[in-house]
Amino acid sequence: MDELDLRTPVIVGVAQVSERITDDDYRARSAADLAADAVRAALSDTGVPSDVVASAIDTMAAMRAFDDSSPYSHAALGSADNVPRAVAARIGADPSRAILDVTGGQSPQHSVTELCAAIASGTSEVAVSFGAEVISTTRYLAGTDSPPDFTEYVGGSLDDRGFGIRGLTSAQSALHDLTTPPTQYSILENARRARLGVTRGEYLAMMGRLFAPFSAVAAVNPHAAAPVERDAEELVTVTDRNRRITDAYPRYLIARDQVNQAAAVVIMSLGRARALGVPEGRWVFVHGHADLTEHGLNTRPDLGSSPAAVAAVREALAMADVSLEQLAAMDLYSCFAVPVFNLCDGLGLAPDDPRGLTVTGGLPFFGGPGNNYSMHAIVEIARRARADPGSFGMVAANGGILSKHSVAIYSTTPTPWRPSTSASVQADLDRVPTVPFAYRADGPATIESYSVAFDRNGSRTAVVIGRLDNGARFVATPVHGDAALPDLLTGDAEPIGQRIHARAVDAGNRVATDRPSMDRLLPRAVPVFRDRYEGLRLARHGHVLEVTIDRPSSDNAVDATTQRDLDEIIGAFCADDDLRVAILTGAGTECFSVGIDLDGVGSSMQITRPINGFAGLGGRRHLSKPVIAAINGRAEGAAIDMVVSCHLAIADENASFALPETGVGLAPGLETLGRLPDVVGRALAHDMILTGRRLDASAAAAAGLISRVAPAGTVLDMAREMAAAITSRSPIAARAALSFMASDDTDPSPIDDELMVHADTLEGLRAHTEGRAPHFRNR
């Protein structure tokens, strides 16, 4: 023992508490209150007076609560603004540092590892890591007439790590309703099942056999949310109580989040533990640890496995210099079956290992207290290590969708702290080639995996992960109203490997069983002009189409309906051989457009990117006929997308141009980001995007954003004059020139080939020779 550095970290106190709404002494504790109970119990567990330990705490680290796990979560009963300090105040501590950790089930183990490293480095001596959830209380009381208010304003310094959810749920997943854990994990479960070549019934039975022993552990755990032992058949048999959540899971096989649970761990330097008189029988050391991250769901090579999770266990075991067989106890994160199966597959661990794969009962039966589950596992492993001195226990924590993995090996046997070796392992994992991803999917494809969610009345919501014939992966949903594909996904035949057809639309990717079904369900209609549009006015003058955005009450902002209508109108303009020029302007004299109408749109506008660009002027659409932007007033936000996408832009002398998006937490449109630096120069583009700098008409002309400035009130007249000039010239030559300018081709053959086959080319040359005006007939 004497050879150990006095800064060696050692766990000296552990505890967990819980309450059920059915308990006789149920007190409807807030998360901060329940956490404080757990921390007090952990302080007492050190064997030293709690007030003595509390006064020595320099760091309090809180796990992020479920209702603060994403930008879209909400604390229905309120919460503390500084959770670590709210709990510290309750126990009489005044730490110099307060931490609020990131979202994810890996956080408790990662936090303990991080605090141990801080102690080993000398930047901390006494630290507490804790977490609490009162999801059951919140659901029970939020809808009552007099719900409690758990809001607290504590203040003080806080190291808020943020949500840390980048890469866990992508915009593509959100766009296709692949956001709930059961739906996401069903994708992984089905991919693994197909790899094993077993039927759905066989795989369901495997999950039942895996989790039956977990329920037996939970049945004798006083803190378990569902302390009922169930056999494998009961776990997988669908009943009213055990209803289908997804095609892969009945309710008994998924994490139970309706809990009131808290847990805490006290860590000290060996020197401080000795100085305070913590009995050696309380000491538990971290022998090995690892933190690794998997590739994102959209690009990982195998949807049914996570090599990073297996590598994290192997690395922690190697650091501890123990084998898997030497472990006396282990807790494998079990929000669903596949995280457990993944480690069993990769480590050669039997699902029915007699040591058991959980020490708590697992998330479906003990409970899944938000991000804090593995803190309870650490508490149980530490207690087992104390009860069997010299034995080894392991906690393997998982966050995201088999995304983030934190593992540690525990024992009472003293050992020096070993710095992390995860970086080199992570580098090896990162070098593994990933799968190309298609944001827009069109054409024949194959089902790689899928998930079908069921609501309480049996309605189905399906998500498909597919592969295009070029190997690119994509996310899609069935065409609305199509029952054939959901029937395929839930029928007797194996869906994975079946051929399907994909088609991209503004709202995402859609799939059908085949091309004829797709054409019937989602036909590619030729766009035509309608007699009337809400918020838009059309006028046709010979070969010129005028489009006016007429939404004065919203400063001519474009809502979702207007966006779709503009796309349709521009498509119809492109398809009409008699139209040669389009003019786009705004109604009134104040605003051309302030871009996207954010009122009532919600967050979806952040992830919905129209295929043909904003207003149908960019993206996949190739504008081979001239479009003039006649800017009659303010042009802001996504309106700049329209300006840079039009071939010509002119402005009223009172017009102005600005990009306010970053000021409201958004980014400018893709056309602006892609084209504006080329139009006005990199420096000015950055100035406009980052500071919101507003350009007046003269500055915009000087920068090249517009080509002409019109006297006040005459911009539409000027646009009409320009359109007349354009229509007097060869439309075929104009199209050829615009097409060549829009391409990356440097070979003149395409433009020459286009011109030589049209009569208008010869007409223009003859008219020039004969000294007369040409008569172009667009042929």
Q: Is 669 helix (H, G, I), strand (E, B) or coil?
A: coil
Describe the crossing of helices 181-196 and 200-219 by its angle, rounded to 10 degrees: 120
Annotate 572-597 with DSSP letters as a single string: HHHH-TT--EEEEEESTTTEEE-SB-
| Residue where the block lists tokens 């209380």 | 137
What is the pLDDT at residue 734?
67
**What is the per-residue DSSP string for 488-506?**
HHHSSS--TT-EEEEEEET
Question: How far is residue 294's CA from residue 297's CA, in Å, rounded to a whole number?
Answer: 8
| CA diameter of the chain | 109
CA dist., res. 485 & res. 450, Å (int): 11
253: helix, strand or coil:
helix
Angstrom CA distances, 189 to 194, 204, 342, 414, 671, stand at 9, 10, 10, 40, 39
The sign of the torsion formed by the CA atoms of 425, 429, 431, 432 equals: positive
Cα–chain-centroid distance for residue 237? Answer: 33
Count other C-beta atoms under 10 Å from residue 550's C-beta: 16
CA dihedral sign of residues 222, 228, 232, 237: negative
- Neighbouring C-beta atoms of residue 636, cutoff 10 Å: 24
Q: Tell me the C-alpha to C-alpha distance, in Å, between residue 758 and each of 395, 624, 769, 771.
A: 74, 16, 18, 21
pLDDT of residue 603: 46
H-type alpha helices, 388-480: 422-430
Token pair 């084209």 in the structure block, residue: 675
Neighbours of 206 (CB within 10 A): 19
**Whole-number pLDDT of residue 760:** 62
Query: Is the four-CA dihedral 314, 320, 322, 327 of positive or negative sign?
Result: negative
Tokens representing residue 125 in the block = 């001596």
Question: Which token pair is 194?
Answer: 């197909």
For 393, half-sphere exposure in the C-beta direction (CA atoms, 13 angstrom radius) is 27
* Predicted pLDDT of residue 664: 82
Question: Do 170 and 438 touch, CB atoms closer than 8 A?
Answer: no
C-alpha to C-alpha distance for 678 and 680, rounded to whole angstroms:
6
Neighbours of 71 (CB within 10 A): 9
CA neighbor of 634 nearest in space, from 596, 595, 690, 671? 595
Per DSSP, what are the bridge partners of residue 330?
394
Cβ(282)–Cβ(7) below 8 Å: no
Q: What share of the chain is helix, strand, coil (3-state, %, to 5)?
A: 35, 20, 40
pLDDT value of residue 8: 98
Distance, C-alpha 642 to centroid of its chain: 29
- DSSP class of 335: S
How far from each other are the two terminal CA atoms of the chain, in whole angstroms?
A: 94
Task: Quickly count: other Cβ atoms within 10 Å of residue 525's Cβ.
Answer: 8
Distances in Å between the Cα of 554 and the Cα atoms of 172, 558, 567 are 29, 8, 20
- In the three-class reduction of DSSP (H, G, I as helix; E, B as strand; rest coil), residue 430 is classed as helix
408 in Cβ contact with 286 (< 8 Å)? yes
C-alpha 340/C-alpha 335 separation (Å) is 9
Specify the DSSP element, H or E, that contains 732.
Answer: helix 731-742
C-alpha–C-alpha distance, residues 511 and 76, integer Å: 38
At residue 623, the pLDDT reads: 86
> CA 754 → CA 304, 395, 737, distances in Å?
51, 68, 10
**Pick from 339, 329, 422, 426: which is nearest to 110 by CA?**
422
Name 547's bridge partners.
538, 584
Q: Name residue 660's amino acid.
A: P
Strands (DSSP E) along 135-256, which ranges?
Answer: 159-160
User: With contact defined as beta carbons under 8 Å apart, do 539 and 630 qualify?
Assistant: no
Residues in the chain: 779
Q: How far apart are CA 336 and CA 196, in angstroms?
A: 18
Backbone angles phi, psi at 338, to 5 degrees: -65, -35
Give the pLDDT of residue 773.
78
CA separation, residue 652 to residues 333, 586, 649, 657 (Å): 63, 12, 10, 11
Give dist(CA 409, CA 281) in Å, integer. Answer: 18
> How far apart, in whole angstroms, are the C-alpha atoms of residue 394 and residue 156?
36
Cα–Cα distance for residue pair 573/616, rounded to 1 Å: 11
pLDDT of residue 410: 98
Residue 156 near residue 87, CB atoms below 8 Å: no
- Give 525-578 as a DSSP string: PPP---S-BTTEEEEEETTEEEEEE--GGGTT-B-HHHHHHHHHHHHHHHH-TT
The tokens describing 159, both together, are 């190291």
**DSSP-based three-state secondary structure for 82:** coil
Tokens of 178: 């692949």
Domain architecture of the chain: domains with CATH? 9-166+256-292+309-341+363-417 (3.40.47.10), 443-521 (2.40.50.840), 536-727 (3.90.226.10), 731-770 (no CATH)
Q: Using CA atoms, how far apart are residues 629 and 650, in angstroms rounded to an integer?
A: 6
Mean pLDDT per block of 10 residues along the chain (779 residues) reads 83 97 94 98 98 98 92 90 98 98 96 98 98 96 93 96 79 86 97 96 98 98 97 97 96 96 98 98 98 95 97 98 98 98 98 98 96 98 98 97 97 97 97 96 97 90 97 96 94 95 93 95 88 94 96 92 92 92 95 82 54 86 91 94 94 96 87 93 96 96 96 96 89 70 61 59 68 71
